[in-house]
Amino acid sequence: MQAKMVNLKINNISVSVPEGTTILEAARKAHIEIPTLCYLKDVSCVGSCRMCLVEATGARGLVAACVYPVSEGMEVRTNTEKCRQSRKMTLELILSKHKKKCLSCERNHNCELQKLSLGYSVDEDRFKGEDFVLPIDTSTPYVVRDNDKCINCMRCVAACRKQNVNAIGPIGRGFHVHIGSAFDMPLSESVCVGCGQCIVACPVGALSENSTIENVWKALSDPTKQVVFFTAPSVRATLGEAFDMPVGTNVEGKMVAAIRRLGPEHVFNMDVTADLTIMEEASELINRIKTGKPMPMFTSCCPAWIKFVEQRHPEMIPHLSSCKSPQQMFGALLKSYWCEKNGIDPKNLYVVSVIPCTAKKYECTREEMKDDVDAAITTRELARMIKTAGIKFAELPDEDFDNPFATATGGGTIFGATGGVMEAALRTAAHMLDGSFEVLDFFAVRGTSPIKEATYLVAGNTIRVAVASGLANAETIIEQIESGEKKYDFVEIMACPGGCVNGGGQPTLSDSVRNNVELKESRAKALYTSDTKNDLRRSSDSPVMDVIYNDYFGFPNSHKAHEILHTSYHADKRI
Amino acid sequence: MENCEACGTPEQAEKLKAVIEESKSTPGCLMHILQEAQGIYGFLPMSVQKTIAEGLGISLSEVYGVVTFYSQFSLKPKGKHRISVCLGTACYVKGSDKILSEIEKELGISCGECTADGLFSIDSCRCVGACGLAPVMMIGEEVYGKLTPESVKGILDKYRKEENV
């Protein structure tokens, strides 16, 4: 049934929108942006910050455009003196207790509060709020929380709730309200899984990753260290955003060129170990199918998902693939195979992984594999390093990754989007089971739907698969499996909605961009386009895999592969 | 008093479990359960909040957020005799702040705390509906009106005598 249309005027421009549309959404149709702070598309809509106040006929006083529905004949004014004065006062009140340490703030020049403060000519010292200093939480390797910069917009809380993790919430009341974990415990002791969705939701600098840039700079200038970088599949699809390029621009060539100019010995392609993960994971899946080990098997590339299972569903640990993630596999491969082959003492090799993720910062500190990767930096941190080094990103030529870890298949590339690991695994697993199976496109597992399901018949085996992104959807899948409602053989889970392209380490885009583009879809498209253009699409067809297995591991899931490329998990039940 | 986390009895645990079971299917039952739990334990330590979170299948952070929002909930243990000094408008203009200071001085603790022997705890409140008797305080369910700083010691001594302190 078609929704009833409502006609209204916004700043004298006529628009027609479906009934139930908010003023904010309707204004977009009239090409008018209404300022927001607490609103974030798909994440938070509570009408609490009062930035989006507008004049609307039929309403008493100013109304919050983000939650106020349009009505027939309504006339809205978004930029009157009354609106501007109200917004200015709101900003000045917010600033009365904001730590205005803007010069060195990670979000300087990319801060919603700063942008609005300039736009509304505020006096940031007009009101002097009560002075109370809250401790900065640096207890985790993934998120740093500086509550003195927090404006209590609750976007991080909404992001955490959307993930169904609920590690943080508002504490207290009135002027002293602040965001934190229960009992103000350090984040490291909470149920947080490190996905970082709170960071990309934050409009100011209250949340950031626990940066390890300084360690990387030090290693780069240490003559005894051989520094190698590798970049995760999705970084090429987002790094350009930090240099004002349109969302969805694939900057692989410039990214490699920029990192090379930072001065490491080599720049490698993490898609290679995404292929390696598929070789190991597909073999493990086939082995599980044949030996009747716990099914379904869950993917294990996402460290926030692993932490979620360990903390909330330890009973599911036997279902997790034992494969390390591509990041950890690469670190382990470099510190073993690469070092042995080139006569390098692993102590002198400094491995830097560039990832779209904050949980990967935690992953590389896990006791089981803490020697694999020395520093994991986010897309944001890489962008900052490039800018600091004075590298003119947009003007760089396109360059290629270094051999022998340059060539990867399209299967490795699509790891960065939800459904990508599943599709890559199916391409290889199906071929391993039936050499004549040539299907390469598994459309049913693509796209950003929260949960995707499909069934495939390969060499007499029925393989039932499911793909979920966003931990709330992962929770649904676990419930359905545990209740017996659903039966699957293989399940891919990515903690972040949409997968790594929407990871917690990706560039933080301003509200005016984020509220107006399909972020997940546009970024994922860059990866799938690259996959289609690649002559190699099935991980098992990669010539690099031939070399690695012939030279070193023998065959997938061999004893040596198990020693170096696989890991274990442990229960850590938390409430 | 720090050890109070562990001082819950099996009977208290049993009661709390029953309250959770009885109400958990009612939407918005958290407030009710917290009130009951505070009635059972006298305050809401972490262990109690964890039991409630687990029982309702919600996060500890959500429970803690509600507990810290409402002043009726306490994270600290309360005394056997709970003193509540009214700081509402009528009592305040009649000098109830001086009554509060006197009680704090007499007991050697601050508002919101509990004495080491567990006998008294002090809180402030806003209006108990006895403005005609201002300034007013309550000890347990008992209301004391027309207070003066000088009258405080005598009232507290009455309770001390009952306990042979």
Cβ contact B68–A172 (<8 Å):
yes
Spatial distance between the Cα atoms of A171 and A131, rounded to a whole number of angstroms:
18
Length of chain B: 165
Length of chain A: 575
Mutate to test the interface with A, among B49, B59, B71, B76 (most CBs of A within 10 A): B59
Asked if residue A47 lies in contact with residue A67, where contact means CB atoms within 8 angstroms, the answer is yes
The pLDDT confidence band at residue B3, using thresholds 50, 70 and 90, is very low
Calculate the CA B33 to chain-centre distance.
16
Q: What sign results for the dihedral spanned by CA atoms B86, B87, B90, B96?
A: positive
* Contacts across the A-B interface (CB distance below 8 Å): 45
pLDDT value at position A451?
Answer: 96
Residue carrying structure tokens 């609307």: A56
Is A368 considered catalytic here? yes
Q: Residue A402 has which token pair?
A: 């270094």
Q: Which helix (H) or strand (E) holds A55?
A: strand A53-56
pLDDT value at position B4?
Answer: 45
Encode pLDDT of A188-232 as tens digits. 999 999 999 999 999 999 999 999 999 999 999 999 999 999 999
Cβ contact A182–B63 (<8 Å):
yes
Spatial distance between the Cα atoms of A97 and A106, rounded to a whole number of angstroms:
19
Asked if residue A544 lies in contact with residue A238, where contact means CB atoms within 8 angstroms, the answer is no
Encode pLDDT of A247-288 as tens digits. 999 999 999 999 999 999 999 999 999 999 999 999 999 999
Nearest to B64 among A165, A173, A183 (CB): A183
Percentage of chain A lying above the pLDDT 90 cut: 93
Domains recognised in chain A with CATH numbers: 5-79 (3.10.20.740), 94-209 (3.30.70.20), 214-565 (3.40.50.1780)
List the catalytic residue out of A469, A500, A520, A539.
A500
- Find the residue in B nearest to A168 (Cα): B61
Mean pLDDT of A138-145: 97
Is A281 considered catalytic here? yes
User: Which three-class secondary structure string do you get for chain B?
Assistant: CHHHHHCCCHHHHHHHHHHHHHHCCCCCCHHHHHHHHHHHHCCCCHHHHHHHHHHHCCCHHHHHHHHHHCCCCCCCCCCCEEEEEECCHHHHHCCHHHHHHHHHHHHCCCCCCECCCCCEEEEEECCCCCHHHCCCEEECCEEECCCCHHHHHHHHHHHHHHCCC
Specify which residues A56 forms β-bridges with.
Answer: A76
Percentages of chain A per state (helix, strand, coil), in multiples of 5: 40, 15, 45
| Positions of E strands within A356-405 | 375-378
Mean pLDDT of B89-108: 96
- Find the residue in A nearest to B68 (Cα): A172
Cβ contact B46–A171 (<8 Å):
no
Q: Does B18 touch chain A (CB under 8 A)?
A: no
The pLDDT confidence band at residue B165, using thresholds 50, 70 and 90, is low
Mean pLDDT of A441-446: 94
Is A485 considered catalytic here? no
Phi, psi of A464 (to 5 degrees): -95, 120
Mean pLDDT of A507-520: 92
Tell me the C-alpha to C-alpha distance, in Å, between residue A531 and each of A234, A241, A333, A354, A358: 12, 21, 24, 20, 25
Instruction: Characterize A521-536 residue by residue with b for buried, 16 or more Cβ atoms within 10 angstroms of its Cβ, and e for exposed.
Output: bbbbbbbbebbeebeb
Mean pLDDT of A431-448: 92
Q: Which residues of A touch B (CB under 8 A)?
A: 165-173, 181-183, 190-191, 575
pLDDT value at position A482?
Answer: 96
Residues of B in contact with A169 (CB under 8 A): 59, 61-62, 64-65
Cβ contact A575–B54 (<8 Å):
yes
Cβ contact A173–B53 (<8 Å):
no
Question: In whole numbers, what is the pLDDT of chain A averaged over residues?
Answer: 96
Q: Residue A479 has which token pair?
A: 């419930």
The pLDDT confidence band at residue B2, using thresholds 50, 70 and 90, is very low
User: How far A173 CA sits from the closest chain B CA (Å)?
Assistant: 5
